[in-house]
Amino acid sequence: MEFVITIDGPAASGKSSVIRGLSKLFSIPWVSTGAFYRGLAYAAIELKIDLDDKEKLTELAMSDVWRVEMTPEKTLVWFKDTDVTEKIGHESVGNAASRISHYPEVRSSLLDHQRQCAFKDKGLVAEGRDCGTVVFPQAEVKVYLTASSEHRAQRRAQELGMDEKELVIQQKQRDQQDSTRKVAPLQIPKDALVVDTTQMTLN
């Protein structure tokens, strides 16, 4: 079985930065599973599909009009052969991703694609909300990263050049949505190492 490390946690808890470092250190490919939800949400918005129309969303999840590509630096998202990775980074797309992610049909149609990121001989570091609980429950190492909501908003506000106060509100709303949904909510996998990064540097 392939070697998998999972990192789950709320928005802007440092998952992507940590995973990139781990991937370099161990020479293992990495993937941000949020890219699947963000990519689908972005495609839906572009195609003017209602974010509550779960049938159309499930159909779109299977379509090749958009796709995710793993690279050492970033998890890229392509829409109609255009790289839209920068665009899906916006908090508005994050919020739309969170909205569509509570549909079980949408989640299960994205699940196989996420699992296929783990190559047999190379292993994988995967980050998201349900990587250790649903996508890779058999993972060798599971980490749950967290940090205070103010600290997380501060980090993301710097990254996106946004107002911190506004971001605290938006992130709280997104975390609330992600942790209270019925299917695969954000939760600490029972065998995970919990790390609070509020007082930590990346190293």
Which residue of this chain has its Cβ atom nearest to ligand DC in the complex? 34
Cα Rg, the chain, nearest whole Å: 16
The yes or no reply on residue 19 touching ligand DC (CB under 6 A) is no
Site membership for ligand DC, residue 189 (CB under 6 A): no
Of 167, 177, 175, give the one whose Cα is nearest residue 146: 175
Q: Residues 6 or more apart from 193 whose CB is under 8 A from it?
A: 141, 142, 143, 144
Least distance to ligand DC from the beta carbon of 109, Å?
Answer: 13
Q: Which of 14, 123, 128, 132 binds ligand DC (CB under 6 A)?
A: 128
* Residue 9: CB minimum distance to ligand DC, A: 9
Burial of 52 (0-12, 13-18, 19+ CB in 10 A): exposed
Closest CA to 41 of 71, 9, 15, 66: 66
Q: Would you count residue 142 as binding ligand DC (CB under 6 A)?
A: no
> What is the rounded distance in angstroms from the CA atom of residue 132 to the CA atom of residue 138?
8
Question: Helix, strand, coil proportions of the chain in percent (round to 5)?
Answer: 45, 20, 35
- CB closer to ligand DC, 28 vs 170: 170
For ligand DC, the binding residue among 34, 123, 132, 189 (CB under 6 A) is 34
Residues in region 37-76 near ligand DC by CB under 6 A = 37-38
Nearer to ligand DC, 131 or 192 (CB): 131
Among 33, 109, 149, 171, indicate the residue that binds ligand DC (CB under 6 A). Answer: 33
3-state secondary structure of 79: strand
Residues near ligand DC, by CB under 6 A? 11, 32-34, 37-38, 94, 97-98, 101, 128-131, 174, 178
